């Protein structure tokens, strides 16, 4: 049966989950979401039934499917639902053929709604492309994954992207209040109240997911409500039905990259509290601790470097510890390294390697000066002048003035000491060398 069949919606069984019963029936019932606020491009397109192909991108429980259901009920176009999880190329071609006949014989457009469109592979997306291109299908997709990564450029260029945001505490409170007051679809027929602290706890637990908020509400009512009595939802009751808050985290998409970016920038900015917070967020979200440890090694060399050479040693030891002990114990050496690196003096002078690489790439020819060339692996070394006139520094007290760069790079300086205490000592040493 079609998910969007209006007759089905009018005869929803009373035992359907509260979150399903409370899905918005009209645009006015959608809570939050600037993308469909009055006066927005998408709102006007829906109200005028002048839709274009688009993707709804947002976390779970933000109303993607609800908006699609509203379009299904208000549009004069034929609305067809296609779940990406269970649909293949043949289903797409069948939908396109039916849409073509519908347009040809009845002058009726077809809106194809693809739920979880990010699950379509490249081949399936390529099959969709010509039908979207020639107007046979008006495509609406819903996804929790960034479409800029998951959809190919050819398909994206023919669609708009609308972003749906996780609901804030006030919006979640409105969703819950609506459910408690609605006598037709919600819990309004019962005498149920909820205090502000409990609302805040639900909001914290469900991380902006309206569906999860309603599921929590329904669970506590089903578990503790007694008929014919006034019922107040308190924190003590919620704590009995709620598990640990679920985090919206992925290990390959935007959240993954944004989180590790915030983590490294917090360490670079010498904020150990923020760095620990993002470390905890990644670990709680299921991030691979070995990935975090690898990033710490890079950070220790890139952003601390010679300002505190111990940082790289600690980061390397931390990576070994993570590999050896595993989670959850690995959180402790990771935290130790994060605090140390965040509190360490910073220098990016090690990026001098990039200037050296640029010099190599820009040089037309590179020749090792003969006096510092190898003399142990060539029978003709002496004939070629290799090693001649080389001065062994230890014979001169540890340093002697001689050239080491190719002739075309003499006088070039790649390493520029930082202003930290350790590198100022290095600078003083280099500046005081004779020659």
Q: Give me the DSSP letters along 18-77.
A: HHHHTS-SSGGG--S-GGGSTT-HHHHHHHHT----EEEE--TTSSHHHHHHHHHHH-SS
Report the range of poorest mean pLDDT among 249-258, 298-307, 392-401.
249-258
Average pLDDT over residues 155-174: 91
Same-domain check for residues 70 and 98: yes
Report the range of poorest mean pLDDT among 114-118, 246-250, 366-370.
246-250
Same-domain check for residues 229 and 337: no
Higher pLDDT, 178 or 204: 178
Task: Report the CATH number at residue 198.
Answer: 1.10.8.60
- Which H or E run contains 82? strand 78-83
Same-domain check for residues 259 and 331: yes
Which DSSP state fits 299? Answer: H
Q: Is the pLDDT of residue 36 over 60?
A: yes
Confidence band, pLDDT 50/70/90 cuts, at residue 4: low
Could you give the 3-state DSSP secondary structure of residue 100? helix
Q: Is the pLDDT of residue 13 over 60?
A: no
Q: How many domains does the chain have?
A: 4
Residue 356 inside a domain? The answer is: no
CA distance 163 to 14: 33
Same-domain check for residues 233 and 260: no
Share of the chain above pLDDT 90, in %: 43
Residue 246 inside a domain? The answer is: no
Same-domain check for residues 117 and 231: no
pLDDT of residue 364: 84
Say what the pTM is. Answer: 0.64
Same-domain check for residues 379 and 329: no
Among 95, 129, 163, which residue terminates a domain? 163
- Residue 366's domain comprises 362-431
Higher pLDDT, 373 or 4: 373
Same-domain check for residues 66 and 155: yes
CA distance 217 to 291: 37
Average pLDDT over residues 62-82: 88
Query: What value does the mean pLDDT of the chain take?
Result: 87
Residue 93 inside a domain? The answer is: yes
Same-domain check for residues 152 and 38: yes
Task: Report the CATH number at residue 318.
Answer: 1.20.272.10
Residue 20 inside a domain? The answer is: no
Among 343, 376, 398, which residue terminates a domain? 343
Same-domain check for residues 37 and 119: yes
Average pLDDT over residues 64-92: 88
Same-domain check for residues 265 and 321: yes
Residue 349 inside a domain? The answer is: no
Q: Is the pLDDT of residue 1 over 50?
A: no
Task: Report the CATH number at residue 131.
Answer: 3.40.50.300
Among 102, 137, 163, which residue terminates a domain? 163
Of 251, 254, 253, 334, whose CA–CA distance to 299 is shortest? 334
Helix intervals (H) in 208-288: 210-224, 235-241, 254-268, 272-284
Confidence band, pLDDT 50/70/90 cuts, at residue 244: low
Residue 120 inside a domain? The answer is: yes
Residue 16 inside a domain? The answer is: no
Residue 5 inside a domain? The answer is: no
Structure token digits, residue 227: 């008929």
Average pLDDT over residues 176-181: 92
Higher pLDDT, 10 or 425: 425
Same-domain check for residues 65 and 125: yes
């Amino acid at each position: 049966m079609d998910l969007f069949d209006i007759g089905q919606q009018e005869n929803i069984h009373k035992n359907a989950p509260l979150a399903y019963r409370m899905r918005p029936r009209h645009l006015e019932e959608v809570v939050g979401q600037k993308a469909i606020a009055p006066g927005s491009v998408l709102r006007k397109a829906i109200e005028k039934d002048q839709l274009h192909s688009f993707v709804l991108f947002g976390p779970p429980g933000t109303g993607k499917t609800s908006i699609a259901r509203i379009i299904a009920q208000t549009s004069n176009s034929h609305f067809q639902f296609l779940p990406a999880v269970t649909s293949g190329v043949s289903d797409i071609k069948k939908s396109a053929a039916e849409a073509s006949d519908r347009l040809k014989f009845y002058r009726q457009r077809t809106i194809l709604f693809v739920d979880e469109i990010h699950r379509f592979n490249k081949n399936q997306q390529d099959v969709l492309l010509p039908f979207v291109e020639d107007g046979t299908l008006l495509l609406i997709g819903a996804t929790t994954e960034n479409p800029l990564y998951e959809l190919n450029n050819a398909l994206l260029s023919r669609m708009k992207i609308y972003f749906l945001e996780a609901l804030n505490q006030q919006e979640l409170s409105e969703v819950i209040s609506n459910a408690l007051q609605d006598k037709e679809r919600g819990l309004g027929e019962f005498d149920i109240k909820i205090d502000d602290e409990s609302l805040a706890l639900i909001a914290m637990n469900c991380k902006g997911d309206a569906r999860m908020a309603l599921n929590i509400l329904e669970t506590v009512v089903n578990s503790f409500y007694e008929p014919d009595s006034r019922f107040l939802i308190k924190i003590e009751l919620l704590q009995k039905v709620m598990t640990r808050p679920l985090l919206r985290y992925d290990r390959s998409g935007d959240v993954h990259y944004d989180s590790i970016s915030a983590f490294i920038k917090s360490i670079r900015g010498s904020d150990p509290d923020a760095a620990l917070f993002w470390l905890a967020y990644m670990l709680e979200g299921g991030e691979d601790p070995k990935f975090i440890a690898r990033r710490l090694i890079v950070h220790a060399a890139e952003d601390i470097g010679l300002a505190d050479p111990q940082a790289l040693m600690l980061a390397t030891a931390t990576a070994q510890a993570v590999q050896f002990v595993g989670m959850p114990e690995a959180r402790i050496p990771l935290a130790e390294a994060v605090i140390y690196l965040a509190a360490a003096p910073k220098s990016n002078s090690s990026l001098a390697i990039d200037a050296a690489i640029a010099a190599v790439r820009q040089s037309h020819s590179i020749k090792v000066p003969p006096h510092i060339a190898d003399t142990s692996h060539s029978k003709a070394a002496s004939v070629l002048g290799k090693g001649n006139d080389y001065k062994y520094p230890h014979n001169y007290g540890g340093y002697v003035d001689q050239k080491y760069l190719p002739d075309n790079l003499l006088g070039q300086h790649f390493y520029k000491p930082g202003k930290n205490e350790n590198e100022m000592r290095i600078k003083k040493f280099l500046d005081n060398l004779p020659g």
